[in-house]
Amino acid sequence: MEIKMSGNWTIKSIFIIIILAITIISAVQFYQHRHFQLPIVAGPGVTKVIKLSEYNERLKGTMADTYVFFLEGKEPGGKVLLLGNTHSNEPEGLLASLIFIENAIVEKGTLIVIPQFNNSGSRVTHFGDGYPLFFEIATEWGSKKFRFGDRNAAPLDSWPDPDVYVHYPDRQLLSYLDVRNVNRTWPGRPNGPLMERVTYAAMQLMKQEQVDVAIDIHGAETMFPVTNCIVAPEKSMDIATMTSMTVTAMEGFENHVEPSPRGFRGLSHREIADHSDVMPFLLEAPIPFLDQPTGPKTIDLLLDGKDPFLLSLAKQKKLFVPYDESGWPMEKRVGQHCSVVLEIMNQFSMMTPDREILVNNVPRYAEVVEKGVGFFYHDPSQAKKDRIYFN
């Protein structure tokens, strides 16, 4: 029997094969990205690891649930909460958090670290900008691979978006996308949209664990004025100012203070301050990768921050940070965050000696710049299995 195919179906078949190939390749890449598990080695200072859903059971079984690492000191003291990857396309927060988890020894007080605060956002890539799905950090024992995520949670986990996100409890109208932005949904609700459930759990954690200081680690564009800074509400302003002055004088990098705006709701530094006794801080380091007028969004640009278009703009004084041929490498950004976090704890301890927190074995700016970020990560293949947490 002879089967004849019309010219019409010949071209249709070619189109189907091409589109099917594109769809399958995309699907495989997205699936591998969403399900890639990052091994986190709990260092000698980690005393307890639980899930964030312990503080809000409505997170259980969702992609937004994430690990919470406790580093408890021998002596009681103050308690500090560290949040990384609030925006998963600002990986400095995750990288700095892991340095604390893998190395810190807490002598006094407690350090609580949530390295992947927006776990869902780290499992989706940004729409339309050609972001890389993964990046690697060179270490002494090879390279450590990370997912590179998006600013907002994955639509697969939090969908559909509303026409306008109405912030709870202030009812301020925000962009529809902000329903998936975990730094617009503070203080959250136990049964609200997924990101509100995350922030509600974090608020409960701070309340139940009697946290004194919360530090939310971010990064921002070089063309955005709120970059290379500490954002602080009124009650955190003294410590933020002292921290800024100290790191500038002692460690040689600039990190100015920005006041937390009263009229812009949903941000961690605003809502934690207004809805709890905790002193919040939000740290920003410049990420040239996030600027719009750059070349292709490559892994090199993410890691070294070198871009000829930004260099040209810097010469025209269009940037809010110093910028030259050396770019803004990851070591500088992560090193800044390590130093600023340590200095906030130091200043808090000096101002409230009865709630002192003493953390050792965490590198400061100069050491991270000299040795690189990867130097401070441990080889998962050499670690005990019960000390490795995959997420």
Partner 1 sequence: MIIYYLISAFIAAMLIWNFIREKQDKEKMLLYLIVLIPLVLRIFRMR
**Alpha carbon distances (Å) from 372 to 65, 145, 164, 166, 378:** 30, 15, 43, 42, 13
Span interacting with partner 1, options 16-24, 78-86, 249-257, 359-367, rule CB under 8 A: 16-24
Residue labelled with tokens 């978006």: 161
State the minimum distance, in angstroms, from the CB of residue 31 to partner 1: 6
Size of the site for partner 1 (CB under 8 A): 18
State the minimum distance, in angstroms, from the CB of residue 102 to partner 1: 32
C-beta neighbour count of 379 within 10 angstroms: 13
Nearer to partner 1, 177 or 350 (CB): 177
Q: Find the helix or strand (DSSP H, E) in which 40 lies.
A: strand 39-41
Span interacting with partner 1, options 7-15, 109-117, 141-149, 265-273, rule CB under 8 A: 7-15
State the minimum distance, in angstroms, from the CB of residue 15 to partner 1: 5
**DSSP class per residue in 126-177:** PSSS---SEEEEEETTEEEEEE---SS--TTTS-SPPSSEE-TTT--EE-GG
Q: β-strand 213-217 against 39-41: which pairing, if any?
A: unpaired
Residues between 30 and 69 that touch partner 1 (CB under 8 A): 30-31, 34
Tell me if residue 376 falls in helix, strand or coil: helix
C-beta neighbour count of 129 within 10 angstroms: 13
Span interacting with partner 1, options 17-25, 70-78, 109-117, 239-247, rule CB under 8 A: 17-25
State the minimum distance, in angstroms, from the CB of residue 159 to partner 1: 6
23 touches partner 1 by CB under 8 A: yes
Nearer to partner 1, 34 or 378 (CB): 34
Residue labelled with tokens 């500490």: 230
State the minimum distance, in angstroms, from the CB of residue 19 to partner 1: 4
Nearer to partner 1, 132 or 155 (CB): 155
DSSP 8-state secondary structure symbol assigned to residue 120: T
Choice from 19, 21, 173, 250 touching partner 1 (CB under 8 A): 19
Nearer to partner 1, 156 or 350 (CB): 156
Nearer to partner 1, 7 or 252 (CB): 7
Sign of CA dihedral 44, 50, 52, 56: negative
State the minimum distance, in angstroms, from the CB of residue 170 to partner 1: 26
Choice from 12, 60, 262, 318 touching partner 1 (CB under 8 A): 12
The closest of 54, 41, 155 to 101, measured between CA atoms, is 41
Nearer to partner 1, 160 or 252 (CB): 160
Tell me if residue 50 falls in helix, strand or coil: strand
CA atoms in the 13 A half-sphere facing the CB of 143 = 7
Rounded distance, CA 367 to CA 56, Å? Answer: 38
Nearer to partner 1, 12 or 60 (CB): 12
Rounded distance, CA 340 to CA 347, Å? Answer: 10
Nearer to partner 1, 160 or 263 (CB): 160
Nearer to partner 1, 19 or 177 (CB): 19
Interface mask toward partner 1 for 141-180; x: CB under 8 A? --------------xx--xx--------------------
State the minimum distance, in angstroms, from the CB of residue 162 to partner 1: 13
16 touches partner 1 by CB under 8 A: yes
Nearer to partner 1, 128 or 252 (CB): 128
Residues between 113 and 142 that touch partner 1 (CB under 8 A): 124
10 touches partner 1 by CB under 8 A: no
Rounded distance, CA 59 to CA 194, Å? Answer: 8
CA atoms in the 13 A half-sphere facing the CB of 348 = 28
**Alpha carbon distances (Å) from 170 to 184, 208, 321, 373:** 12, 24, 34, 40
366 touches partner 1 by CB under 8 A: no
342 touches partner 1 by CB under 8 A: no
**DSSP class per residue in 207-260:** HHTT-SEEEEE--B-TTSSS-SEEEE-GGGHHHHHHHHHHHHHHH----EEEEP
Residues between 68 and 107 that touch partner 1 (CB under 8 A): none
Q: What are the residues binding partner 1 (CB under 8 A)? A: 8, 11-12, 15-16, 19, 22-23, 26-27, 30-31, 34, 124, 155-156, 159-160
